[in-house]
Chain A
């Protein structure tokens, strides 16, 4: 074991204490992230109190640095888990360092530090859509020597595909998200309706309920149509529901072109008919979540985080919200919700690959994920936890969410994901606001993607 130069920072590990979670604008798939200014302040204070003088003279402990986004929830379970890991690995310290809550900022931080040659961290929390990109770039350590295939099978299938891109094990699934249809259970019950199975049924229900309620302030279905990652997710779900894909098995782009255009046409029709308010084209997760939370819409497509907020005391819709799978299409495929979430990866230049891999396996393990599910407003990636008695007591909707997650699909798993998504966004947006026809939008998206991907050969 190589003694680490005991830096001042090593002494303050574990001082990133609980902060009151504040939900700000929530970027796609990053809802568990909050600002960490308060935490940073505490770290500084703690550093001043502890000082640099107390470093041990004997061979210093090994320090692992864990870079992660702030964890949202009533109590952040991460510090406790890291102490437990330290207890099981004497002589090892884990220093947790928080990143900005903004997904773009995190990506930029990792890219700059991984591309530059200074290894400042060992373990990192990655948005699921970055895993293939970072693996392709050679920034991630292949964990297959430590992670047998059987260790991945307890996780939801849609989390495994990104983790095992191109035959390696580049990361382990940690937290998961899935697209959900929230509905106003009280309104549906009053009209004797069951949650809709198809979009056609949903439109019918909206017209029926609004026809009787006669409330001009009650909107039909809300979703995320602003030109950002959330739009990619929503449009993909509509395209999948209509039986189309972005990439075929042979790498063909939009192999079911007509059906893909049909998916976009559905979203456009929701706006034109007034089933969705026109401002969904400017809506992100929080904008749509608040409007539904104020009791002003019948349906909402969002991530699981919204449920806790709807059920909070003082919420106008408390006890009146149900969850269901996203609708499918008549004559199309079954509903397909997009998954999101975070994986844990190891910097390839880490000086302690063995220990870093052990930390990843520990945090992704059943015990740690259970603690995460109980303490944070977070969804684990291990299937069994959704029927665990303790967890279900804390989150009664987990068994229902289990079924949604089981059928969730990852966004295209490709190292060029961010390029693909930012190429698709303006085309999808153009179809939603009527600047292009859905067919034109798909055609233009295909041409641009083809050019882009050809340049990466």
Chain B
């Protein structure tokens, strides 16, 4: 008892050690994330077009222009529509698939492996594959529809839904596997008790499985939303943002401005908007998750 260090001193020492151990990670984060982030912010306050030798501070004028730029508002609308529709469908299908896997008796391993396949494919490969599926004259989809010549990627009302379907196919497995992993940890006796109490299949899913999935669903939602808000590759490969910019997301607009036409300051301003959007959504989700923790604690 006598050799014991007073707890406050020990706590202070531990806190210092913790800070020291965290320091490398914090420094790495600061140099890798914060520094480039600040630099982009600084860039967005300048008019900088190297080809024309233009480099001057313009304050917030890029943001003022964006506020009245129809192309920007259209890209924002496309981004939000894409995010909402694809994330909602992914969640719905992901949970359904997880429940189906739970109910399956044989061949689960094969089913999980198959499920992983779309998730494991590089997105450019997925893009090329869907390009052939949607091909107007030789595509599988039009063939299955009885030789129609539906213009999936060139019709304004069809192009975005076609991209959403491709995105859902690609990322639904992520949601399904997360949910499936959680479902596996639900103790069988809970279901037995429900069964004894006379609960039907629907009531069991509604009152037992889904409530237990809530937290993992929030995490899946967070990841998927942040990803979808930055959607780029599918549009870039399949439609180039067309027709008539109906599939041009904010990141595609940023790419066109920043990399393709070298309007560095203006492109950076769009990038900053995407960043702010992502941070707002992340903050809302994290708050929701914190509340969830409190409620269950």
Binding site for B on A (CB under 8 A): 104, 107-108, 111, 115, 133-134, 136-138, 225-228, 231, 277-283, 287, 290-291, 296, 415-416, 418-419, 422, 425-426, 429-430, 432-433, 435-436, 455-456
Contacts and interface: CB of A to CB of B under 8 A. Distances in A.
A115 B50 contact: yes
B136 A429 contact: no
B241 interface: yes
With a 10 A CB-CB cut-off, give which of A283, A429, A432 has the most chain B CB atoms: A429
Given A137-B51, A277-B149, A296-B137, A422 B260 contact: yes
22 contacts: A108-B259, A227-B239, A227-B240, A227-B243, A277-B136, A278-B155, A282-B136, A282-B243, A287-B135, A415-B51, A416-B52, A419-B261, A426-B245, A426-B248, A430-B243, A430-B244, A432-B243, A432-B244, A433-B243, A435-B243, A435-B244, A436-B244
B263 interface: yes
Contacts of A415: 51-52
Given A136-B52, A137-B50, A226-B239, A280 B244 contact: no
A202 to B, nearest CB: 21
Given A137-B50, A138-B53, A436-B244, 8 more contacts: A134-B51, A227-B245, A277-B137, A281-B243, A282-B242, A426-B242, A426-B245, A456-B52
Given A104-B260, A281-B243, A282-B239, A426 B155 contact: no
Contacts of B260: 104, 107, 418, 422
Interface of B: 47, 49-54, 71, 135-138, 149, 151-156, 159, 239-246, 248, 256, 259-263
B151 A282 contact: yes
Given A419-B263, A456-B54, A278 B242 contact: no
Given A279-B136, A419-B261, A433-B154, A426 B51 contact: no
Which secondary structure characterizes the binding site on chain A?
helix
Contacts of B262: 111, 418
Contacts of B155: 278, 281, 433
Contacts of A430: 243-245
A27 to B, nearest CB: 11
A277 B248 CA distance: 24
Contacts of A228: 240, 242
A280 B138 CA distance: 14
A280 B52 contact: no
B235 to A, nearest CB: 10
A228 to B, nearest CB: 5
A165 to B, nearest CB: 13
A115 B51 CA distance: 9
B221 to A, nearest CB: 32
B260 to A, nearest CB: 6
With a 10 A CB-CB cut-off, give which of A425, A426, A432 has the most chain B CB atoms: A426
A212 to B, nearest CB: 21
B156 A435 contact: yes
With a 10 A CB-CB cut-off, give which of A108, A282, A419 has the most chain B CB atoms: A282
A432 B262 CA distance: 28
Nearest to B47: A455
B261 A418 contact: yes
Given A227-B244, A277-B149, A282 B154 contact: yes
Contact of B149 (A133, A137, A279, A418): A279
Contact of A429 (B71, B138, B244): B244
B239 A456 contact: no
B133 to A, nearest CB: 13
A283 B154 contact: yes
A145 to B, nearest CB: 24
A133 B51 contact: yes
Contacts of A227: 239-245
A456 B256 CA distance: 17
Contacts of A281: 151, 154-155, 242-243
Contact of A226 (B50, B54, B154, B263): B154
A294 to B, nearest CB: 8
Given A277-B136, A281-B151, A226 B51 contact: no
A270 B153 CA distance: 19
Contacts of A225: 154, 243
Contact of B154 (A104, A279, A455, A456): A279
B151 A429 contact: no
